[in-house]
Structure 1
Amino acid sequence: MTHQALIMLAAGIGIPLLAALNARLGANIGSPAAAALILFIVAFAATAVTMVLSGGTGALADLPDQPRHLFLAGLLVAFYVLSITWVAPTFGVGNAVFFVLLGQLISAAAIDHFGLFGAQVASLSPMRAAGIVVMAAGVALTQFGARG
C-alpha cells in the first residue's frame, strides 16, 4: 500500500470519529452549530501551524487569482460538519456515515468520469459501475446487516 493510500485510509477512519466526537460535543453543549464552530477553530489552528511549518505561507498571495468557484469547498466542508453534527445524534453515526459514503461514491464517479475540476479522467465503464454498486452494497450490508 502506498503512503497516499495510507493517508486516505487514515482520513477515512477519521470521518466517523469526527462525526461521533462532534455530535457528542454538540449534544453536550446543546448546540451543533457551536460544536462545529469549535471544530473549525481547532482545524484552523492545526492547518495554520502545518502551513507555517511546511513553508506554504507564500501560496496565500496567489489566492486572489483563483477562480471563485474553487472556494465553494469551504462551504461544502461546513455543510458536512454542520449536518453530521446535527444528524448523527438522532440518526446514528453509522447511518449518517453510510449515506455520506454513498454520496461520495456517486460524486466521485461523476467527477472522475467527466474529469471535473481538473481531475484525472476515469470513465465510468460497466465494470467500474458494477464495482461502485458492489461497494455501496457492501457498505449497506455492514450497516443494515448488523441490525438483522
Structure 2
Amino acid sequence: MWFLYALTIAAGLANAIQPGQNATLSKSLGLPVTAALLTLLVSTAGLLAGGLALGKLEIPTGQQLGQVPWWAWLGGFLSILLILAQLYASPAIGAATFLGIIVTVGVLASLVFDHFGWIGFQVHPASFWRVAGAVLMVVGVGLVAVF
C-alpha cells in the first residue's frame, strides 16, 4: 500500500512540474497544438516502452473492449484538455494559481463522484469534514490567486 502513496506523491510532483515543461515546449516551438501532440507522443512512447519492458502490454480481446462503458473511452479527450490548459493558461496565471485551481476543482468534483459512486468510484459519503476541507481549499486557492 505504501507504494501507492509514493506513486501518488510522485504524480503530484509531476503535476506541478509538467505545466512548465509543456508551456516551455510550446513557447520554444511557437506551435502550441504541435507541442501538445508531441507531449502525447512522448507519453505514448514511454508507456509502450515501459509496458513492453515489464511484460504488461497486451492487446485486449473483443469481449474486453465490448465491456467498456462508453464514457470510459473519453479519458483521452480529457488529457487533451489538461495539456491545452497547461500550454495556454499556466504561463498566464502562474504555476501556483494554475495548480491550485486544478487540484481544488478536482477535489470538489471528486467529492461529488465519491458521494454518488459515479464514473466507477466506490461510494464515500460527503461528510461535513470532507466538505469543510474542500471549502478550505477553495479559500486557500483564492488567497494564492489574489496574493
Scaled to the shorter chain, the TM-score interval is 0.7 to 0.9
Amino acid of the structure 2 residue aligned with 1:6: A
User: Contact (CA 8 Å) 2:104, 2:134: kept in 1 or not?
Assistant: no
Counterpart for residue 27 of structure 1: 27
1:9 deviates by 0.9
Q: 2:107 aligns with which of 105, 117, 120?
A: 105
Q: 1:72 aligns with which of 71, 74, 99?
A: 74
Is 1:93 paired with 2:124?
A: no
Is 1:9 paired with 2:9?
A: yes
- Worse-superposed segment, 109-118 or 126-135: 126-135
1:54 deviates by 2.9
Amino acid of the structure 2 residue aligned with 1:113: H
Secondary structure of 1:58's aligned partner: coil
Cα 1:54–1:140 shift into 2, 3 Å: farther
Q: 1:125 aligns with which of 124, 127, 137?
A: 127
CA distance in 2, matches of 1:38, 1:86: 16
TM-score when normalising by structure 2: 0.87
- RMSD across aligned C-alpha pairs, in angstroms? 1.9
Structure 2 residue runs without a partner (length 5+): none
CA distance in 1, matches of 2:28, 2:135: 37
Counterpart for residue 60 of structure 1: 60
Structure 1 residue runs without a partner (length 5+): none
1:127 deviates by 1.7
CA distance in 1, matches of 2:73, 2:65: 10
1:6-60 alpha-carbon deviations (Å, 9 max, x no partner): 1111101111211001011111111211111111010000111222233333353
Counterpart for residue 41 of structure 1: 41
Identical residues among aligned pairs (%): 27
User: Contact (CA 8 Å) 1:112, 1:122: kept in 2 or not?
Assistant: yes
CA distance in 2, matches of 1:64, 1:34: 32
Amino acid of the structure 1 residue aligned with 2:121: A
TM-score when normalising by structure 1: 0.87
User: Contact (CA 8 Å) 1:27, 1:89: kept in 2 or not?
Assistant: no
CA distance in 1, matches of 2:5, 2:48: 24
User: Contact (CA 8 Å) 1:22, 1:36: kept in 2 or not?
Assistant: yes
User: Contact (CA 8 Å) 1:23, 1:88: kept in 2 or not?
Assistant: yes
